[in-house]
A = this chain, B = another copy of it.
Amino acid sequence: MNAGIRHLVSIDDLSLPEILELFQHAKDYAQDLRAHSHVARGLISASLFYEASTRTRLSFESSMLRLGGGVLTAADMRLSSASKGESLADTVRVVSGSYADIIVLRHASEGAAQLATEYSNVPVINAGDGSHEHPTQTLCDLYNLWIERGRIEGLHVMLAGDLRYSRTIHSFVYALARFGANIVCLPTPGFELPPYVVQRLREEFGVEPVRADGEKLGELARSCDAMYLTPQKPHQLSLFTDAKGISVEHVDAVYMTRPQTERYTSADTLPPRPMSLSKQTLSRESLRDAVVMHPLPRRDEISSDLDEDPRSIYFKQAARGVPIRMAILALLLGRLELSAPRAEVDVRYHPVALGENPCPNPTCISRTENRHVTARYKLASRFPVRGFCAYCSQELPARWVGCSTTGVYHERESAAARQIRPDHLVFFRDEAQAHALGFTTVAKPVPPGVEPEPARAAGV
């Protein structure tokens, strides 16, 4: 709505230098959390939580109070305005009109925070949108690595458990990849990283997945195949020598996750013995120096007899959520200026020119609140044409694409497809859909007065 407002929807919204500068400020705040009550004086945050949460909500509200601001709480939006049928777009317009100076939003639909930014008059912070992203958790996690290890680049971070539905994991792996950390995945079978995440890691961050030998990780790796994702830049690879794959010799951090059972569909079944980190596993040589992290709440993923182990930092990790969220709030409220350069604007986003919303995700906000959303997509590659929903980041399952001005459609792998201007692109699941919209495979003569499609169509 207001282009000058800065939001935090995705971890991508912050450049690496900005993130590191925020860490410095967080560290300053953490010296004495009670000494910064002038920063947000006179300002108000609104917690709009469409999903139950205590940890994240209280963490944000504590941060705002510690900055001297006021807090409005709507801890269960599903029971209030939403029950009267109000759309998220309307709620955001009202709350950002005069009630609050910043909105902290949690929602069950992927892309909800993105939608909110389109209607808000104040900054929006994504405090979790479905199984999509949770950037402040990621900032907190990165901050913990930075505090504990002094750096992020080159660290070996192992992610274990439900990597599919954990939104914290998705924001986290993108950031780890950007920072040049090495990622070892130990997913519960059936709960691997979603394909769109892996694809993005490869295409945007130059990360190469390699089958890894998890034998040195003990019990944890017994029931699953380890996957090793590493930036293609040549750093630290000398550690790994196994010819068949990579052997996981040394891990800096183990990041355990909870099965996100509340998001499971009937097709998802947990193994009889869910993954759990035990004292025995942690005594493995490869994990000798590893800090143990968890976004919490945990169930049985970490045995409670590890709580007193000095490597277990999950409670410290949660405590550090306050200073880092103080820094984020201060930044977005305009009460903290960074000297680091901002992330560049991603120019690959375009509206879908015509037709049905091509997003395949039934819980994406572009489908659950379609009255207020104009379908948009990110053009990830032009050959073949591949797009991702601008809200939930899932790939558009379109084998055919058309041009809204010529009415002609092509297979997305074709050279012709490549020529279509991004803002003229139409996505078709199948040819029937193309025909239904009046598209054909042969160009009709261009009617007079319509500008012909330029051959030098705008680059990605």
Chain A residues in the interface with B (C-beta under 8 A): 33-34, 37, 41-44, 46, 52-55, 57-59, 61-62, 65-66, 70-77, 79-81, 83-86, 90-91, 93-95, 97-101, 258, 262, 296-299, 304, 315-316, 318-323, 371-372
Contacts and interface: CB of A to CB of B under 8 A. Distances in A.
A42 B37 contact: yes
Contacts of A53: 80-81
A425 to B, nearest CB: 24
A372 B307 CA distance: 11
Given A90-B297, A91-B54, A84 B315 contact: no
Given A85-B297, A86-B297, A315-B93, A322 B98 contact: yes
Contacts of A77: 54
B99 A58 contact: yes
Nearest to A303: B371
A297 B83 CA distance: 10
A52 B44 CA distance: 22
Contacts of A75: 73-75, 80
B46 A86 contact: no
Given A59-B99, A86-B297, A304-B372, 5 more contacts: A55-B81, A61-B72, A75-B75, A85-B297, A304-B371
B297 A98 contact: no
Stoichiometry, copies per complex: 3
A357 B90 CA distance: 43
Nearest to A299: B85
In the A-B complex, the 4 residue pairs with the closest CB atoms: A97-B319, A86-B297, A65-B70, A98-B319
A318 B94 contact: yes
B81 A79 contact: no
A337 to B, nearest CB: 19
A83 B298 contact: no
A55 B46 CA distance: 12
Interface centre among A61, A297, A320 (most CB of B within 10 A): A297
Contacts of A52: 79-80, 83
Contacts of A41: 37
Contacts of A58: 46, 72, 74, 95, 99-100
Interface centre among A44, A71, A94, A318 (most CB of B within 10 A): A94
Contacts of A83: 52
Given A54-B77, A321-B98, A90 B42 contact: no
Contact of A298 (B33, B37, B86): B86
A101 B34 CA distance: 10
Contacts of A62: 44, 72, 98-100
Given A62-B72, A296-B94, A316-B97, A258 B34 contact: no
Contact of A297 (B81, B100, B371): B81
A99 B98 CA distance: 27
A94 B320 CA distance: 10
A84 B315 CA distance: 17
Contacts of A258: 84
Given A37-B42, A297-B84, A322 B99 contact: yes
Given A43-B34, A54-B74, A318 B372 contact: no
Contacts of A318: 93-94, 97-98
Nearest to A326: B98
A213 to B, nearest CB: 33
Contacts of A65: 44, 70, 72
Contacts of A298: 86, 90
